[in-house]
Amino acid sequence: MRIHALLCVAASLSAAATAAYGEDLLLASKADGIAALLQEAGLQAKIDTDTLGNPLILSAASGADFDVVFNDCTPETGCTTVQFSACFDMPDGVDMAVVNTWNYDWRFGKVSLDDAKDPCLQMDIEMAGGISKTAFSTSIATWTGSLDSFMTAIDF
């Protein structure tokens, strides 16, 4: 009986800790929470929707516009990932050597080219089950730092 009581207390404390921690988690299905963190970081954040009806946040940093695109969305679970994305219209495009060097040297953010050799920098964040606001704020700082460095690399 005593062991059962101790197990019940432990389970209650575990559930309380999980609930308290869960309240602090940021979900990709909550665009307003993500927009608030962008604003706390000193960035603009306008919530819109994409062509599929999923949330989309329009923002800017370092003089460049970027989007926060919500992916892996279902009516049952909402969205589970977001992607920061910035595309640049370059008069002469960007050489593939610049893209390859960037993708080799930088851990966060990948670059691709469209048919006109215009680059897009993207960074994905997995948020299934939620992530802490601190972790997401760190991702915002990583994104803006990467964006600034990428703009230097392409002379934008």
**Exposure letters 39-59 (e unless 16+ CB within 10 A, then b):** eebebebeeeeeeeebbbbeb
Q: How far is CA 3 from the centre of its chain?
A: 45
Spans of the chain below 50 pLDDT: 1-20, 22
Would you state the structure tokens that stand for residue 4, as one six-digit string?
């059962």
pLDDT of residue 5: 36
Helix or strand (DSSP H, E) at 41: none
Output the pTM of the full model.
0.84
Identify the sign of the CA torsion 97, 99, 103, 105: positive
Instruction: Kindly list the domain boundaries of the chain, sorted by start residue.
Output: 26-153
For domain 26-153, give the fold.
Yope Regulator; Chain: A, (3.30.1460)
Question: CA end-to-end span of the chain, whole Å?
Answer: 70
Partnered with residue 86 across adjacent β-strands are 121
| List of residues 6+ apart from 32 with CB closer than 8 A | 47
Q: CB 77: neighbour CB atoms within 10 A? A: 12
pLDDT of residue 49: 96
Q: What is the C-alpha separation between 36 and 32, in angstroms, rounded? A: 6
